[in-house]
A and B are shown apart, each in its own frame.
Chain A
Amino acid sequence: MKPETLPADANDPIITVRHMTKHFADFEALHDINLDVHRSEVLCLIGRSGSGKSTLLRCLNFLEQYDGGEVRMGGQLIGWQDGPSPRKPLPAAALRDQRKNIGMVFQQFNLWPHYTALQNVVEALLRVKKLPRAEAQARAEAALQEVNLKEKADSYPASLSGGQQQRVAIARAIAMEPKLMLFDEPTSALDPELVGEVLNVMKKMAAEGMTMVVVTHEMGFAANVADRVAFLDSGRLVACVPPAEVFGTEPADPRIRAFLQTYRERNVV
């Protein structure tokens, strides 16, 4: 479990989002988002499907181009060149440099099926970090150890269970030693009995002090592991508060109450 008091440097945000907006053609997917994520913090994004939580997450590493506002990491504007509008996207190489510091785990794992688990992890270490092969190999093995999959290093994704594939995907991301990890519904594509093994790995990462932003439908994880929970509705950030304020007492905002109600009903059955 996380300590009650945050570490001293926790006030210094790793990533700051200011007045961010995102449109898909005429549809406003995100409206004036303001958000800080602090070092070693676990922030869970919750909300109905279509509320914009995945879009928000994908804007943080510029997989989606946000149109207005800013996302900054260590003072650096993510994705865009700093300057007067209309601003230009960063050159591809500069964007890649920024992304090195942001790991991402997808709903569909997105492993490369023609490589073994180990090769999946090694690839970016070789091509992006440009480590020598032996060192990349050693670091990849350590990352697989971290997610308890060392013995599956030579298996191809197709022979792994969904939970194992997702843990390889996590290993692939953490091997790059990112400052921030993004999770886009990491357990939504898994059979129910496989969800636990992935959440356990994520809990362990949180306990070790990794900064994490997690889009999830696992309310138990949000309640127990998150430092703060952000609730999105129709592209707006409604609340960003400690989990107790969402799950403990009756939340003030009717939209959050309605959202949680559907979960309670399902759990009763």
Chain B
Amino acid sequence: MELGLYLHYGPALVSGFAVTILCWIAGSLGGMVVGFAIASLQHWAGRPVRWLLQAYIEIIRGTPFMIQLFILYYGGPYVGVVLGPVEAGILSFVVYGSPYFSEIFRSGFESIPKGQIEAARCVGLGEGSIVRRIILPQMLVLITAPLTNFVIILSKETAILSVVTVPELLYQTQTMAAETFTYIEPYVALSLFYWLMVVATTWLGAKVEARVTRHLRRA
């Protein structure tokens, strides 16, 4: 191992890591928002909308992320959507993640017994309060673990963005490898960064889970 290499390429690797984190967090948050919207619509909208959303979910889940990314990045300009690599990366993450997130939210909605919602209506709670006060707090308990899991999966998919020249971690690593003809050093650094991300996410997920389940613990 030549540690001197890190002195030279360290800044590039760190900036790549920053881009990775940016795409990952922005993509995850966007995917969650869209996923929640899909799940809500599936719950309350009429049949044609539900049917369309289901088709969207199946199509996105049935095709590779890389192809979705290519359609957006390379195909976008042909329909007037011109995006930079990072924007295309984040947007494709939102598209790719939303059906998985929506399925997680849907399972959360479905886990709340109907009787509880009926009871809430009987005491005169509005639909908004029912979602905020009755459904959300309970479903958060169930969905935190699967959400964390999927966010971790997304963190690994960020590597694919290197293919469309997003200057993220893997891209910087490959540049370093190509310029120095070394493989061990760049990939060791790369593994460390990804490992850091997984550990941090797992830790954060556990924190969130502890917070949302506090009513289940004894005082």
Do A and B touch, yes or no (CB under 8 Å, in the complex)?
no
On B, residues with C-beta under 8 Å from A are none
